[in-house]
Amino acid sequence: MNPATQSVASFIPPTPPLPEVGRDWKRFGRRLRGNILSTWPKEAYEEPVWRGQLLHRQVLLLNDPDAIHHVLVENVENYRRSPASIRILWPIVGKGLLLAEGGAWRHQRRTLAPAFAPRATPIICHHIVRQTQEVLPDLLQKEGIPVDLLAFFQQLTLEIAGRALFSLETHAFGTQLRSMMAYYGMALSRPSLLDLLFPIGIPSPRDILRWRFRKQWLGLIDRILDDRLALPKENAPRDLLDFMLAAKDPETGASFTRAMLRDELATLIVAGHETTAVALFWTLFLIAHLPEEQDKIFEEVRNIRFEPNKAAEILPILTRCRAVVSEALRLYPPAPVLVRQAIADDHAGRIAIAAGTLVFIAPWILHRHHRLWQNPNAFDPSRFFPTAPPAPRFAYLPFGAGPRVCIGAQFALAEATLVLGMLLQLFTIKRSSNEPVIPVSIVTMQPDHPPCFFLQPRLFAERTRAA
Ligand code: HEM
């Protein structure tokens, strides 16, 4: 069937091939370093728990919502980030919120909270709409020309992050930020065997390259911070940095030091922009196959005037856009796997978890699990309509859960929803070829190649006539 004519119910988005052998954990390490999404056999999508072995370490994949609740909420203190995650993420995010533990994490989470509280939403939405408005005219020039939407969203989300975080246009340093992050993602973020084997105190050969990268990376973040701090002060907060500069830990009264600000900003750029870029990419990828869905979104947005100062009021009206984004986050969660290591022996219900076990919670699998979802592989945004029953408890975790749930979840949802609405108001979208696109986990959920799309202007002629 031609993908352009598929109906919602019949559209099953492509997935990576499953491994041929059943409980084949021997090759787990190799696949882990290739595409972790191809690691899990069919049974992993059907059973509540999956046990295995990786380099003499117990590995556990949890698909049981109560067990997940236990690990992420009830006994969260017993589970820390895995040594491989720390090794890979530290050079780029330092001791910012993502990797901090214990008291340092609590201090940072409390101090950052006002920047992500509902009071900051109008500022965030303003920057999202303003920046998107600036780039839409470029897309209007692309009629009939194939567009790489992944690259487009990477640039847009970086620009939005730059504006929302520090009121700076990123064109002065955006190219360097992107090329450094792309280099890190491709060359240094996949774990080598030695990364997995060596204890955290012993550097692997790749660590030397990672540390060298960190020096240059911090130099760039410092320059951005200097540029922003040189801007004249304003009375009202204009961006998230203003919230962060004003913030004090409600318990200790301490504010962020310069070194902490630097790691925090690096964390927010890294954690915030690529995840949202791929969320938008997969959303557009899905609906590019579904013209009827595009028409329904268009009906929702056709009469809306997207103005930066009204953006926070518009957001709650966009229920269809929000449902489509939520369904895309289910099928293609940008953070496909969360990993923890057990500190002490534990029990999650009847599941025994020995100290040292690597616990995998994989939204990629959980969101497609046959016991938890009806017709799990089909794209069906009605699952997330306001009138639909809530998603099964602890079975839908695109932003994680518990105290370490994504601090930027509302930012990301606002961004993806508003950008989707603004794009679909102006364009219909089609793939430029039918070549299958397979998701690959490279820290975030990437396509195996960047496919191109045709964007056909919809309302532009009508709007310019009315203006
Ligand atoms: C669609 C976009 C996004 C997705 C899917 C996403 C997903 C996640 C997930 C799954 C976690 C939890 C990781 C774990 O428990 O191991 C997380 C944490 C985090 N996210 Fe996001 N994220 C997104 C956007 C953002 C944005 C826009 C920001 C900031 C501007 C952000 C900042 C963070 C930070 C700082 C953490 C660490 C929180 C902590 O440990 O206390 N994320 N994110």
Give the CATH number for residue 449.
1.10.630.10
Token pair 């004090």: residue: 248
Q: Is 58 helix (H, G, I), strand (E, B) or coil?
A: strand
Q: Which residues of 59-82 are buried (b: 16+ CB within 10 A; e: fewer)?
A: bbbbbbbebbbbbbeebeebbbbb
Label each residue of 67-106 as H, E or C: HHHHHHHHCHHHEEECHHHHHHHHHHHCCCCCCCCHHHHH
CA-CA distances (angstroms) from residue 456 to 118, 129, 144, 282, 437?
Answer: 36, 21, 7, 19, 21
Testing ligand 1's pocket by substitution, the residue of 341, 406, 417, 441 carrying the most ligand atoms inside 8 A of its CB is: 406
432-442 pLDDT per residue, tens: 998 999 999 88
Q: How far does the centroid of ligand 1 lie from the alpha carbon of residue 76, in Å? A: 17
Ligand 1: list residues with CB < 6 Å. Answer: 97-98, 109, 267-268, 271-272, 275-276, 279, 334-335, 338, 398-400, 404, 406-408, 411-412
Index of the ligand 1 atom closest to the CA of residue 165: 30
Count of domains for the chain: 1
Low-confidence spans in the chain with pLDDT less than 50? 1-7, 22, 461, 464-465, 467
pLDDT of residue 105: 94
pLDDT of residue 340: 96
Q: What is the DSSP letter of 356?
A: T
Whether the Cβ atoms of residue 423 and residue 137 lie closer than 8 Å to each other: no
193 HSE (CA, 13 A, CB side): 6
Q: Which domain range does residue 32 map to? A: 3-466
**Can you tell me the distance from the alpha carbon of 42 to that of 32, in angstroms, rounded to the nearest whole number?**
17
